[in-house]
Amino acid sequence: MRRARPRHDAQRLEGARLSEGGGVAAALTLGLVLLLVACGGGGDNAVAGGADDLPGAVPAGVRYAKPAAATLRAPPFSAELLDGTPITASKLWSDRPLVLVFTASWCRRCAELHRDVAAALDEHGDAIGLLGVVPEDDAQAARDYADELDLGYPIAVAPERVWLDYAAREPPVVVLISRGGKVLRGWPGGVAREELARRLDELVERS
């Protein structure tokens, strides 16, 4: 499910300070808090762009328009999300259409594109999947980038072959893949929110 990102536990603890008079009590309290955090009771440690940003089940009553028979198959690939979770693209497009966004932390035009793509998809909730793709040498910077932009969708670190297979020569590139894995459209240089929204509206049928 896409959602607002919680603050990290380390940030939550930033305000904890030992007072001069209540040092022992404060130390015990802090110890208890740290114990709770260590035991998983301290909240959400999710990495932006990781497994927690994968979509939930396809909403009930959603159907998808079938692509033309001659449409090319999307090149399959496997990769890891920013939190190390392995993913397989064919699984992501097996039950719903998928939008791939080839991006990079240093791509200034991509920041605006991310917001546009997310806005276009918001109307459809989990009926459409969304996966960001960053180059392998950008993984660390991409973690900061995803956190900073609060993208709210999974980001995969993909090897060079994936970029070549999708003819993604320079970010941003957006690719729309049908349910079942056919390439419906690619937009080198990005896509306007209205254009993507129109394409998605054509694709999703609700009963």
164 is an interface residue for other proteins by CB under 8 A: yes
Q: At 127, give phi and psi (nearest 5°).
A: -75, -20
**Angle value at C-alpha 150, between 145 and 152, nearest 5 degrees:** 115
Q: Is 107 near other proteins (CB under 8 A)?
A: yes
Q: Between 150 and 170, whose beta carbon lies closer to other proteins?
A: 170
189 lies in the binding site for other proteins (CB under 8 A)? yes
Q: Nearer to other proteins by C-beta: 17 or 108?
A: 108
Torsion of CA 19, 20, 22, 24, to 10 degrees: 100
Q: Is the peptide bond before 76 cis (omega within 30 degrees of 0)?
A: no
Q: Using CA atoms, how far apart are residues 200 and 15, in angstroms rounded to an integer?
A: 45
Among 113, 163, 174, 179, binds other proteins (CB under 8 A): 163
CB nearer to other proteins: pick between 59 and 188: 188
Residue 169 CB, shortest distance to other proteins, in Å, is 4
Distance of closest approach, residue 110 Cβ to other proteins, in angstroms: 10
> Is 76:161 a contact under the CB 8 Å cutoff?
no
Residue 159 contacts other proteins per CB under 8 A = no
| 86-88/204-206 β-pairing | unpaired
Bridge-based pairing state of the strands 86-88 and 78-81: antiparallel
Q: Does residue 108 touch other proteins according to CB under 8 A?
A: yes
Q: What's the min distance (Å) between Cβ of 140 and other proteins? A: 13
Interface positions with other proteins (CB under 8 A): 104, 106-109, 135, 163-164, 168-171, 188-189
